Amino acid sequence: MELRRLKGPFEPHVQRAIEAFDCGNSEVNGFLRHYAEPIVDHRLGTVLVLVEDGEILSFVSLSFASVSLTNAEKGVFRAVTTAYGAVRIGSIGTATRHQGRSCGSALLQATVARARRVSETVGLRYLVADANQERVSWYREHGWVANRSRKEQDRLAGRALTSMRFDLGSSTR
Amino acid sequence: MAAHKTRIPKLEDFPPADDPIVIEGDDVTAFLESMAAGPVDEEYLLECDRVYERLYRDEPANDLFR
């Protein structure tokens, strides 16, 4: 099992591996099938895949973003900026036949580590994700919290999603 | 559309702020404490690094599917 990035354009054998991927969520499957290639091709995001024996076990898409905090969370820095740098998990999924192997957890941990490396070069404090309701507890188990700022809540108004973040911490490695 | 020439700003275009924001000492400590969602689990972060170093290879995945 190894983690690598997808590079565009996707050759036919890559498309076949993507077509074979099924995490049980049509929206997540659809992202990988229809949006991953143009996103990677145009540098709008990165797609990391956990691969074993030529099969995609899990994938995650990453891009830069920002997150709004409440004034209380921002503390004295509320006068300086309104949003803080983050890496956004746009989509994440594990193939149904490999669920139960903690592939998603490993991918999430690897994503945290990758973001920590980026934070050494560009100011970056958080990971963010819009979690489906059934995934909120999974993110919480991995140390994520719900965003409470009005801006984050308004952004997802009417959608069954929760804006969440993970704090990469203030210390450097 | 008429050609537009951009004026390059000079140093004197940026006078010092009358009321610069100064953050120091206890304020910084308070900021760091207030900004954290909770105690950062350093051990978890180190485990994340170990997982990443064990799994990640900085080469495109594409050839793995041939």
DSSP assignment letter at A98: G
The ipTM estimated for the assembled molecules is 0.90
Strands (E), A79-151: 83-94, 126-132, 145-146
Which of B44, B49, B65 lies at the smallest CB-CB distance from A54? B65
Q: For residue B24, what pLDDT is reported?
A: 60
pLDDT score recorded for residue A173: 46
- Going residue by residue through chain B (66 aa), what tens digit of pLDDT does each one get? 556 677 777 777 766 666 655 556 666 666 666 555 455 688 899 999 999 999 999 999 999 998
Domain residue ranges of chain A, discontinuous segments joined by +: 2-167
Sign of CA dihedral B49, A54, A37, A128: negative
Question: Could you say which of B36, B42, B51 has the minimum Cβ distance to residue A110?
Answer: B51
Q: Tell me the pTM.
A: 0.83
Which chain A residue has its CA at the smallest distance from B28's CA? Answer: A76
pLDDT means per 10 residues, chain A with 173 residues, are: 96 96 96 97 96 97 93 73 89 96 96 94 93 94 92 92 90 52
Judge contact between A14 and A32, C-beta under 8 A: no
Q: Which residues of B touch A127 (CB under 8 A)?
A: none
Q: Measure CB to CB from residue A75 to each of B34, B45, B47 and give the nearest one.
A: B34
Output the pLDDT for position B36: 53
CA A148 to chain centre: 19
CB contact under 8 A, A4 and B59: yes
pLDDT reported for residue B57: 96
Q: CB-based contact (8 Å) between A69 and chain B? A: yes
According to the model, what pLDDT value does residue B32 have?
A: 60
Residues of chain A in contact with residue B36, where contact means CB-CB under 8 angstroms, are: 167, 169-170
Cβ neighbours of A170 in B, within 8 Å: 32, 35-36, 40
CATH code that applies to domain A2-167: 3.40.630.30
Nearest to A128 by CA among A85, A97, A96: A85
Q: Where are the alpha helices (DSSP H) in chain B?
A: 26-35, 42-55
